[in-house]
């Protein structure tokens, strides 16, 4: 089947493209640089730039099963200056709006739009002593007046940018990703490094919720959404077994046979990374994959122990 993917040269996209090529799909990759796409994927995919899509988009997307949009500046790559925050926001809203308007122009003939979002859209949750805060699921009403944090604002604007497609009757899925875990990319290599160096342990209070999903389960869940055309709307792509950051540190310690009690105080991260540390490391949210489970998706790694074993052993 013909599948279109934007932002495919990143961590998640590369894995999806390999998986789909192995399954025999025809793939069109949308990105900022034809050279970058060709260098990564050779002639196995068709490369299309955003400019080409803007100039002649309808025939490119016509007949595809779906468009998967992962495009956006990496949120953890650089410190969050005001300019950087604008880049993070606009790279997502502009790419999404371009695709949503193109889909809307085809109306009922358009492929579905599966757009990345993130669990940050629910807003940060205050940690509760010794236990996880109550879980958010897709039925949770998000009160944006109460979630002034940057990632919630990005999530909201990102999701709103896909609305023109939905309004035009196109199937739209907002894929709210948790932290994606894999050995070869994302944040897990950085999170596990202190443990490997015998200095692992809780970050700050360690009570912050950490909602995660393995890269393999994420890709399988995206395929599940692609293969079930009746599904639309917001879907949480997280494993059922959310943990506290302290539980994550302990699980990493067990995997590498290393200690996991060396605390790094919050002020160290705040001093080094400012608001970025507050939102990415020192806070979190407990998110539950209610819809995926109800729809019958089976996680290969539902809990953090089994996930880390699958990843590292
Ligand atoms: N990884 C996670 O744990 C996680 C968690 C929650 C949400 N997400 C979201 O899921 C999506 C994919 O994640 P990822 O980890 O694969 O991200 P990634 O490795 O940073 O890749 C994102 C891709 O987006 C494109 N991109 C970057 N800057 C852009 C810009 N200014 N304008 C347009 N496109 C741009 C790039 O593709 P080209 O250079 O080919 O254009 C890049 O390869 C992201 O939107 C991310 O926010 C990821």
pLDDT at 239 over 80: yes
From residue 188, give the alpha-carbon distance in Å to each of 60, 72, 111, 112, 182. 36, 20, 33, 31, 6
Domains of the chain: 2-312 (3.40.50.720)
Which residue has the CA at smallest separation from atom 40 of ligand 1? 31
pLDDT at 313 over 90: no
- Greater confidence (214 vs 128) lies with 214
**Beta partners for residue 284, in sequence order:** 125
Q: Which residues 6+ apart lie within 8 Å of 62 measured at CB?
A: 106, 109
- Protein residues with CB under 6 Å of any ligand 1 atom: 7, 9-13, 31-32, 36, 70-75, 91, 95, 116, 118, 177, 179-180, 186
What is the SS3 assignment for 78?
coil
From residue 4, give the alpha-carbon distance in Å to each of 30, 49, 62, 145, 172. 7, 12, 10, 35, 14
Rounded to two decimals, the pTM is 0.97
Instruction: Please state the atom number of ligand 1 nearest to the C-alpha of residue 180.
Output: 3
**Tens digit of each residue's pLDDT (9 = 90 or more) over 157-202:** 999 999 999 999 999 999 999 999 999 999 999 999 999 999 999 9
The pLDDT score that the predictor gives to residue 144 is: 77
Q: What is the 3-state secondary structure (H, E, C) of 266-279?
A: HHHHHHHHCHHHHH
Distance 25 CA to ligand 1 centre (A): 22
Are 119 and 178 within 8 A, CB to CB? Answer: yes
The pLDDT score that the predictor gives to residue 307 is: 98
Indicate the Cα dihedral angle 246, 250, 253, 258, nearest 10°: 90
Give the integer Cα–Cα distance in Å for 46 and 27. 6
Q: Which of 50-64, 87-101, 239-253, 266-280 has the lowest mean pLDDT?
A: 266-280
**Tens digit of each residue's pLDDT (9 = 90 or more) over 201-228:** 999 999 999 999 999 999 999 999 999 9
Distance 185 CA to ligand 1 centre (A): 12
The pLDDT score that the predictor gives to residue 130 is: 80
* Mutate which of 4, 6, 12, 159 for ligand 1 pocket (most atoms within 8 A of beta carbon): 12
**Tens digit of each residue's pLDDT (9 = 90 or more) over 77-96:** 999 999 999 999 999 999 99
Return the half-sphere exposure (C-beta side, CA atoms, 13 A cut-off) of residue 242.
Answer: 26
Exposed e or buried b per residue across 227-260, where buried means at least 16 C-beta atoms within 10 angstroms of its C-beta: eeeebbebbbbbbebbbbbbbbbbbbbebbebeb
How many other CB atoms are found less than 10 A from the CB of residue 77?
8
- State the average pLDDT for the chain: 96
């Amino acid at each position: 089947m013909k599948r279109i993917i934007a932002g495919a040269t990143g961590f998640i996209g590369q894995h999806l493209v390999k998986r789909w090529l192995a399954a025999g799909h025809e793939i069109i990759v949308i990105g900022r640089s034809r050279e970058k796409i060709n260098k990564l994927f050779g002639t196995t995919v068709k490369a299309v730039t955003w400019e080409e899509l803007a100039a002649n988009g309808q025939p490119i997307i016509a007949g595809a099963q779906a468009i998967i949009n992962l495009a956006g500046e990496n949120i953890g790559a650089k410190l969050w200056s005001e300019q950087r925050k604008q880049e993070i926001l606009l790279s997502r809203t502009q790419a999404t709006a371009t695709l949503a308007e193109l889909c809307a122009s085809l109306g009922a003939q358009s492929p579905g739009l599966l757009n990345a979002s993130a669990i940050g859209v629910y807003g940060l949750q205050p940690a509760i002593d010794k236990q996880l805060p109550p879980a958010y699921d897709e039925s949770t009403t998000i009160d944006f007046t109460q979630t002034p944090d940057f990632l919630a604002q990005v999530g909201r604007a990102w999701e709103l940018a896909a609305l023109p497609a939905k309004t035009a009757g196109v199937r739209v899925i907002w894929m709210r990703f948790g932290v994606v875990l894999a050995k070869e990319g994302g944040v897990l290599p950085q999170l596990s490094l202190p443990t490997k160096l015998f200095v692992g342990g809780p970050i700050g209070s360690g009570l912050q919720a950490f909602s995660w999903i393995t890269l393999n389960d994420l890709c399988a869940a995206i395929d599940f959404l692609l293969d079930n055309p009746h599904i639309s709307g917001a879907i949480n792509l997280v494993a059922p077994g959310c943990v506290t950051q302290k539980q994550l540190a302990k699980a990493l310690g067990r995997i590498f046979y290393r200690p996991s009690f060396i605390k790094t105080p919050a002020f160290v991260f705040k001093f080094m990374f400012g608001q970025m540390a507050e939102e990415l490391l020192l806070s979190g949210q407990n998110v539950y994959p209610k819809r995926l489970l109800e729809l019958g998706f089976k996680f290969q790694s539902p809990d953090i122990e089994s996930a880390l074993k699958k990843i590292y052993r």
